């Protein structure tokens, strides 16, 4: 099992760092799945994370100028690691001015993802800084959980409103209630609603557009507001495409596309 990737382009480094930072805001730990062409950040929707699921997919060639990997066996060209994105994000943020950054799977006192950065210096002698981020190798018998979740058979699919506006509204609603109802129809309408003994607040977004055409029926899901807020807090760049799929009273499936990165986030309905 080997992995070695090198980034020498500064824009690629910035972008990769932003992706890892976004992931770190969404979850404390996740699965990093490496294949010859892709990197995946995966959080399988389990009861232990409150049912929240996440799937983020990157085309390796868009970030790494050099990329070599050898999977667990010669037939299985894949590696699955459990990582904490936060220390990884912190390490990457400190090397933004590096001439090159290498990402390697190493074994120190335990398995590590090592970030080795060549920093610019005034003298001819280069300076290398390494950060070792401990990881856990995930045995193959657990890998079936990390296959791509089928896109649920959704009732409604709608484009999200500007995330900044959504975040402002959700931040305030969180002060008022623990739960929020998200509803949308195929007419491009989306409503965020909270209701408590003290107050009811409904925000109406209109003309959002839908990716497909069908009759006008509202699908809704009641979610834990903190999970929606966590998703919105993580977003650092405006996506080129932002979609919301709703399975009535079941799950909200948020899809963000930005250049070459796709991020999917599943928020289950509260029991």
Partner 1 sequence: MPLSTQSQSQDEQYVLVANLDNARNLSNILKAITCKDHAVFTATANGLKVTVEDCKCMQANAFIQADIFQEFTLKEDMVIFQVNLTVLLDCLNIFGGSTAAGASTALRMCYMGYGHPLTLFLEEGGVVTVCKINTQEPEEPIDFEFSSSNVTNKVILQSESLKEAFSELDMTSEVLQITMSPSQPYFRLSTFGNSGNAHYDYSKDSDMMELFQCSTTQTNRYKMSLLKPSTKALAISCKVSVRTDSRGLLSLQYLVRNDDGQICFVEYFCCPDEEVEEE
List interacting residues with partner 1 (CB under 8 A): 161, 165, 168-169, 171-173, 175-176, 197-207
In the complex with partner 1, the residue whose CB is nearer, 65 or 200, is 200
Which among 161, 200, 162 has a CA at the least distance from the CA of 184? 161
- Minimum Å gap between C-beta 226 and partner 1 is 16
CA torsion through residues 82, 86, 87, 90, sign: positive
In the complex with partner 1, the residue whose CB is nearer, 123 or 175, is 175
- Minimum Å gap between C-beta 180 and partner 1 is 13
Sole residue written with tokens 């856990």: 136
In the complex with partner 1, the residue whose CB is nearer, 169 or 255, is 169
- Minimum Å gap between C-beta 231 and partner 1 is 18
Tokens representing residue 45 in the block: 């929707």
- Minimum Å gap between C-beta 171 and partner 1 is 8
In the complex with partner 1, the residue whose CB is nearer, 75 or 207, is 207
Sole residue written with tokens 């972008």: 15
Query: Of how many residues is the chain composed?
Result: 271
Q: What is the DSSP string of 61-95?
A: GGT-SEEEEE-SSSS---EEEEE-HHHHHHHHHTT
């Amino acid at each position: 099992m080997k992995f070695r990737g090198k980034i020498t382009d500064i824009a690629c480094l910035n972008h990769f760092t932003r992706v890892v930072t976004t992931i770190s805001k969404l979850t404390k730990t996740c699965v990093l799945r490496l294949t010859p062409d892709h990197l995946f950040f995966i959080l399988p929707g389990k009861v232990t994370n409150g049912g929240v699921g996440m799937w983020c997919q990157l085309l390796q060639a868009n970030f790494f100028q050099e990329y070599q990997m050898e999977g667990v066996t010669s037939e299985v060209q894949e590696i699955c690691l459990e990582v904490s994105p936060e220390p990884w994000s912190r390490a990457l943020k400190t090397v933004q001015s590096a001439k090159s950054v290498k990402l390697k799977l190493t074994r120190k006192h335990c398995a590590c993802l090592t970030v080795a950065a060549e920093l610019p210096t005034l003298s001819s002698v280069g300076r290398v800084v390494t950060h070792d981020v401990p990881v856990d190798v995930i045995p193959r018998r657990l890998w079936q959980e990390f296959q791509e979740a089928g896109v649920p058979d959704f009732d409604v699919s709608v484009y999200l409103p500007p995330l900044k506006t959504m975040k402002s509204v959700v931040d305030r609603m969180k002060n008022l209630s623990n739960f929020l109802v998200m509803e949308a129809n195929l007419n491009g309408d989306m409503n965020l609603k909270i209701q408590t003994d003290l107050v009811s607040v409904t925000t109406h977004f209109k003309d959002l557009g839908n990716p497909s055409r069908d009759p006008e029926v509202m699908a809704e899901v009641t979610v834990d507001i903190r999970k929606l807020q966590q998703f919105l807090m993580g977003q650092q760049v405006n996506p080129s495409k932002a979609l919301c799929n709703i399975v009535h009273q079941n799950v909200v499936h948020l899809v963000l596309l930005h250049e070459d990165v796709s991020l999917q986030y599943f928020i289950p309905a509260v029991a």
